[in-house]
Structure 1
Amino acid sequence: MGRGIADITGEAAEGHGANYGRLDQVTHGIHLRQRSRAFIVVDRNSGKRVALVTTDAGSMYASVRQAVVRKLSEHYGTLYNDRNLLLGATHTHATPGGYADYNLYNIVTFGFHQKTFDALVDGIVESIDRAHADLSPGVISLGRGELFNASANRSRGAFEHDPQSDRAPFPNGIDPTTTVLRFDRAGAPVGAIDWFATHGTSLPGENGLISGDNKGYAAYHWEREVAGVDYRRGVPSFVAAFAQTNPGDLSPNLALKPGTGPTDDPFVNTRIIGTRQYEGARAVFDHPSETIGGDIDYRLSYVDMSSLVVKPEFTGDGREHTTCSATLGASFAAGSTEDGPGPEIFKEGVGNNPLIEIVTKARYVASPELRACQAPKDILLDTGALGFTAKILPIQLLRIGQLYIVSLPMEPTVVAGLRLRRRVASRLGVPQKNVIVAGYSNDYAGYLTSPEEYDQQDYEGGHTMYGRWQLPACEQELARIADDLKAGRASEPGPNPPDLSGSRQSYQPGVVMDAPPIGYAYGDVVSPPAERYTRGQQVRVEFAGAHPSNDLHRGGTYIEVQRQDGQSWLSVADDGDWSTKFHWARWGVAASSVVATWDIPDNTAPGTYRIVYRGDAKSLFGSITPIGGASRTFVVAP
């Protein structure tokens, strides 16, 4: 087994977030850097291997997967490929987008952002390279527990449409299961992967600071604050990935309003929900129930989800049905009122958008096939027909000993995840608890609701793009590759997804040039720190800076807190730490203000400190030059 971690942080200034679908969600700094965490597991007998990658990203897209596989092939040939590589996203909503090849996901980002894309791809490959270099014998253990205070069902009405047999395992409307793989080497723990279902929406759409949100904090806390990992130096002693499962209808906002619950401070909530996930995972990690043993194996098929015939054994009504070209409902435009509401003119539910309903009913009369597939959705946009979304999608099944991981590029709800696990476990003849559903993997294609939830047409149903029979279609295809895996035969690869890298368009101009503010030079301190602080106080320093997009400082930092140690300065924190915030703002036309804050932790050693800024300025002729500065010293008192 091997572990690796790398920086994938995108554009920290004027990068647009895609997951809330808001034009005004624009990055203006960093709270937590984005990371890619990779684990490779190899069967020493057969040589088969799988690579599990969890990224602090909003979504995973085919564009990224294709680029990663191409780069890996240059390094390793066919050793890591489409079939044995799982690329997952935590679905944090606090990171820049613009790295998809389909227009739907790039509308609010003003097209494709090459620098964010490159940071994501290069960082993922780097994390896999590091995991490969880290390969050595070890022991993997498996454990399970429950966590009840880190999620709430944000679509309870749709959930109540499901049969009692599906609701019975979830009396609180949530999936509380937390599943942990523990990695040990030479008798000591070196890593963990936790799967738990909750959305990455603790930070609301108004936030402009890059962050891995609650799962990013959970990983950061375990690695940095508990295990003492220094991300910028050396091989990490411990890597902790907090992966997604089936949180389609689950929110971390326990008060079911954006940015609220347990408190009214979104940053405090991010830390609380992240800490609860860490504590739930740690309790399982400390007492795993079984050791992983057995084969490594994998299957993957690409499926045309726009025209899939679904057999009666999967539809539930004894009849054959067909999926259809992707559409988005008016309920999609309404957004999730609990996490990220859309324009007020759109409403969730059937019949609540009368103008769109009138047009949709006329379309259903004209096309019984469309009605059979998409009703009762009020169709707002034909994204499939317009070429705005993918139709060929990956369906994957991985085996690590007795653990089976179902990965698919959708956001399954609690009940959708249950049905997928039941179906795969039944076909494999294994306990249901040994099957995990990993959503947000390998590509992205909206939500996955049960047919009964789909009928409610809440936000999740409106974003279930391929129609009412999408979940049965996924069950059918997963059953097929599960049968293949059990029988030891290859799965049909299916149609190749298109490579759209040659058609990318960007509508946002890049940095034209930088200029220092009038009266200042680059790196000058505009607002100095106080002379003395105590633990718990905040240090604030403003610098005359430059646009961060000139260089993303991947693997580095824009700001650093340093403590004096004789004639040397020791790094205490940087822009990847929870205690710091890096803020950027325009100052006039070409000048930039950079503000660094440091919330002094309670365990900070007394001494003399300073804050350092490192940036890069672009001249009118396009050359980029490193710049920087340091604050005056200040004392942190005992």
Structure 2
Amino acid sequence: MTQALEPFLTAATSRAAFTVASPPPEPLEPVSGLLAGAAEVDLTPPPGLPKAGYSRNARTGIGFRGRLRARILHLRAGTASVAIVQCDLLGGSAVVQRLVASAIRAETDVPLAGLFIGATHTHGAPGQFLGTDLYNGFASNRPGFDPAWTNFLVEEVSAGVKRAVASRQPARLALGSTEVWGLTRNRSLAAHVRNEDRVDRRIAAQRTYASVDPRLSLLRVDALGGGSLAALVVFGVHGTGIPMRNSVYNADLWAYVYEELQERLGPEPIVGALQGTHADVAPALRPGRAGDVEAARVGRGIGAAAAALHESLGASLREDVELGAGLREVDLSASSSIEGVTLPARPALGAALIAGAYENETPVVHRIPPFRAGVPKPHKPADPHGAKWVIGSRWLQPVVMPLRRFPRVLPVQVLRIGSALLVGAPFEITVDAGRRVASAVAASSGADDVIVSSVANEYAGYCTTSEEYARQHYEGGHTLYGPQTNAFLAAHAASLASSVRPGAVVSEIIEERTFDLRAHQYWPSPSGTTAPGAARPAGPARFIDVTAEQDAYWEQGWYDAAPGDLTWNQPIVHVEWTPSGENAWQTLVDDSSCALEVRYAGEASADHRYVVRWHAPELRDGREYRFVVRGLPLRPFN
């Protein structure tokens, strides 16, 4: 159990209050060449946790389709050591980053400044692990920080980082990019086209068409002795291919990116992804068809492009790679200005936030001013929040939402990988805001390539350009710190990047972070009985035919122990097949695949009922199939 959270887990209180100290990093002895290791851990929780991303419109999780995972890529070169953690979660978390850094300190050489907690921003995973009351309260359908869920994340990620470091070996890497068109669209085009061109004048003439960032970056890491270790994708698209009404945990379209990559590259490399500059970018779904069919189409298209890029990088692999790392925690209570750019004294939630984003609008409300997109407030130039209609007014909102509930520490991180820089920020960053950050970083550091990743190390709402902000769409309404947020982030990222030279570890952090969060445990407690007994079947399998949004599936039920007594991040169910008349059953697919879905169907008397669904099975004549649940074969079907 993580020491910082242990006292709270047994305390009768409604708040989780704890402090995490982060001492300065110890200087590392230089190593020659590049060392790398990789690991994967399963983050799938039990049913009962609220899902994050769709706010009150989300559903509480009742199971999973495709598992939630964290992939860890560790790199060590010169005097620097980094670990890039790629999570199937809404975002990173300062709580998780701090506690993981503390947990791995004695067994690894990865400092806090080199620990990058990134995410895919799927809207299909639980929240309740973030560092602020605001987003533990409003990102999900139910509020509160869950210490048990957070503790689980910290333990699993820490174990993965330790394994990745322990497995490191001489390696080579290559970083490259390709373009992916036709699978994404700009969901806030009317705001995007207002941007003045400040980076590339060619964009201005075609801004309506160049409204997404098509760049997909991929880091390929191979063992020096042969064999692929890891592949890390960075691409900008919202994890909103699966609709709000869905009630199982899922990695959204990213699950299909992984599956496509793994099928093409083989099982050897550990494949993961980080979100790019995606705040105004949505998957290009066919109208009215949000669901796994469309998520798979978009995700597999992205995965295919990533696999082709991975193959092309083989000739560029090199072992003489320089590393560096820097982390700056910007404490807004101490300083909210840099290079003449000043943020408002307090953040504010805008009315356009209530209306929702274009593809997931709040019914009725999205049509009513001032909530409706594109209805800016008349304002004076001195107004720190400019065109934003502040929910409840600038007098009432501070009463209902005290300053301590908002993100007040903004982590900005820069990792140097060869001649490229990976910049992590806690915001959802729009396409043009990302371009401006990358341009500022390149100018200050001389980097050949700058990759900007959203929602890293914490979640702090949105970051739009000042022009987009003035239009007050959802993205501008959710930019907490006003129209200068983009300029403020760009200045800090550029300043930090200029210090992250090869071999440097820059740690500009708050040595002791104190968190005081409203708490509620959703993680189900064990029943207190003995170990779970064998599962029992509950009726025969049945076939459900295909729809426009849903592929066909076979479904079968079973009875089992209470959800809190089962280990959900370990295999539960798989499908076996055998030629008719033979007794030679073989595994066909397991629940690590998006083809299998596991649901908790509720309690009936003393029993707990579960359902497994096998989606899009390729059944063949003359064969029998069966589900196997925790070692129990259920009734065969064909």
TM-score (norm 2): 0.82
What pairs up with 1:168-567 in 2 under 5 angstroms?
A: 168-169=202-203, 171-185=209-223, 186-223=225-262, 225-229=263-267, 237-255=268-286, 260=288, 264-288=289-313, 290-291=316-317, 293-305=320-332, 307-312=335-340, 321-338=342-359, 340-342=360-362, 344-345=364-365, 352=372, 372-380=383-391, 381-382=397-398, 385-431=402-448, 434-486=449-501, 491=506, 493-496=508-511, 498-500=513-515, 503-506=517-520, 510=524, 523-529=535-541, 538-554=553-569, 556-563=570-577
**What is the CA distance between 1:396 and its match in structure 2?**
1.0
Structure 1 position 490, deviation (Å): 6.8
Within-5 A mapping of 1:11-160: 11=46, 13-22=47-56, 24-43=58-77, 46-76=78-108, 79-107=109-137, 108-160=141-193
CA RMSD of aligned residues (A): 3.2
> Could you tell me which residue of structure 2 aligns to residue 623 of structure 1?
none
Between 287-296 and 241-250, the greater mean CA deviation after superposition? 287-296
Q: Is the partner of 2:116 in helix, strand or coil?
A: strand
Q: Please list the CA deviations of residues 125-160 of structure 1 after superposition, one character each: whole Å capped at 9, or x if unmatched.
A: 222122112211121112211001221000001111
Question: What letter matches 1:592 in structure 2?
Answer: H
Displacement after TM superposition at 1:389 (Å):
2.0
Count of aligned residue pairs for this structure pair: 574
Q: Which runs of 5+ in 2 are unaligned?
A: 1-35, 392-396, 546-550
Counterparts of 1:126 and 1:512, CA distance in 2: 23
- Residue 84 of structure 1 deviates from its aligned partner by 0.6
CA distance in 2, matches of 1:220, 1:198: 17
1:461 positional shift:
0.7
Taking a change above 3 Å as real, the CA distance of residues 496 and 416 of structure 1, as seen in their structure-2 partners, is: farther
Residue 630, structure 1, aligned to residue 633, structure 2: yes
Counterparts in 2 of 1:212 and 1:507: CA distance versus 1, 3 Å: closer
Matched to 1:194, the amino acid is V
Residue 561 of structure 1: CA displacement? 1.8
State the secondary structure of the residue aligned to 2:520.
Answer: coil
- Aligned-partner Cα distance in 2 for 1:605–1:187: 41
1:622 aligns to what?
none
Pick which of 170-179 and 460-469 moved more. 170-179
Q: Tell me which residue corresponds to 1:234.
A: none
Give, as a single letter, the amino acid of the residue that structure 1 aligns with 2:50.
H
Question: Relative to structure 1, is the Cα distance of residues 568 and 109 closer, same or farther in structure 2, using a 3 angstrom cutoff?
Answer: farther
Amino acid at match of 2:116: L
Instruction: Please say which of residues 191-200 and 283-292 is displaced more in the overlay.
Output: 283-292
Would you say the 8 A contact 2:255–2:594 is kept in 1?
Answer: no
Q: 2 CA distance for matches of 1:601 and 1:546?
A: 28
1:457–1:629 Cα change, 3 Å: same
The superposition leaves residues 337-358 of structure 1 with CA deviations (integer Å, 9 ceiling, x where unpaired) of: 31x223533558868599x99x
SS in 1 for 2:514: coil
Q: How far off its partner does 1:471 sit?
A: 1.0
Residue 305 of structure 1, CA deviation: 3.6
SS class of match (1:379): coil
Q: How far has the Cα of 1:523 moved from its partner?
A: 3.1
Residues 188, 358 of structure 2: 8 Å contact kept: no
Question: d(CA) in 1 for partners of 2:212 and 2:261?
Answer: 25
Deviates most, 20-29 or 451-460: 20-29
3-state SS, counterpart of residue 138 of structure 1? strand
CA contact (8 A) 2:113 2:507 kept: no
Are the counterparts in 2 of residues 325 and 391 from structure 1 also a CA contact under 8 Å? no
Deviations, residues 372-410 of structure 1 (Å, cap 9, x unaligned): 321211111448734222211211111011111111111
Say if 1:253 and 1:116 are closer, same or farther in 2 by CA, change over 3 A: farther
Q: CA deviation at 1:63?
A: 1.5
User: 2:620, 2:429 → 1: CA distance?
Assistant: 43
Q: What is the one-letter code of the residue matched to 1:373?
A: P
Instruction: Tell me the distance in 1 between the aligned counterparts of 2:523 and 2:120.
Output: 29
Q: 1:162 to 1:567 in 2, by over 3 A?
A: same
Partner Cα distance (2:414, 2:364) in 1: 40
Question: How far apart are residue 14 of structure 1 and its match?
Answer: 2.2
Give distance in 1, aligned partners of 2:523 and 2:149.
Answer: 14
2:165 partner letter: H
Once the two structures are TM-superposed, the CA of residue 563 in structure 1 deviates from its matched residue by 4.0
Given that residues 302 and 497 in structure 1 are in contact (C-alpha distance below 8 angstroms), is that contact kept between their aligned partners in structure 2?
A: no
| AA matched with 2:484 | W
Counterpart CA distance in 2 for 1:277 and 1:395 is: 27
Distance 2:128 2:606 in 1: 24
Asked if the contact 1:64/1:117 (under 8 Å) is kept, the reply is yes
Can you give the 5+ residue segments of structure 1 that lack an aligned partner in the other structure?
Answer: 230-236, 313-319, 516-520, 615-627
Q: Provide closer, same or farther for how the CA distance between residues 613 and 348 of structure 1 changes in structure 2, counting only shifts above 3 A.
A: farther
**Percent of aligned pairs sharing the same letter:** 25
CA distance in structure 2 between the aligned counterparts of 1:563 and 1:120, rounded to whole angstroms: 35
Alpha-carbon distance in 2 for matches of 1:3, 1:420: 29
Alpha carbons of structure 1 residues 30 and 165: separation in structure 2 relative to 1, 3 Å: same
1:584 to 600, 603, 608: 600
Cα separation, 2, equivalents of 1:405 and 1:335: 30
> 1:568: Cα distance to partner?
7.1
The answer to whether the 8 Å contact 1:348/1:457 transfers is no
Structure-2 separation of matches of 1:478 and 1:509: 37
- For 1:127 and 1:282, the matched residues in 2 are separated by 24
Aligned 8 A contact 1:7 1:36 in 2: yes
Change (3 A) 1:379 1:423: same
> By how many angstroms is 1:106 displaced?
2.5
Change (3 A) 1:512 1:38: closer
CA distance, structure 1, for counterparts of residue 474 and residue 368 of structure 2: 6
1:625 alignment partner in structure 2? none
- The verdict on how the C-alpha distance between 1:547 and 1:321 changes in structure 2, with shifts beyond 3 A counting, is same
Question: Counterpart of 1:10?
Answer: 45
Superimposed CA distance per residue, residues 203-250 of structure 1 (whole angstroms, 9 cap, x where no aligned partner): 011011111111122113322x34553xxxxxxx21111221100100
Which residue of 2 is the match for residue 594 of structure 1? 610
Task: Determine helix, strand or coil for the equivalent of 1:206.
Answer: coil
Secondary structure at the aligned position of 2:105 is classed as: helix
| Residues 218 and 551 (structure 1), Cα distance of their counterparts in 2 relative to 1, 3 Å cut | same
- Structure 1 residue 541: Cα displacement: 1.0
Contact 2:188-2:473 within 8 A present in 1 as well: yes
TM-score where L is the length of structure 1: 0.82
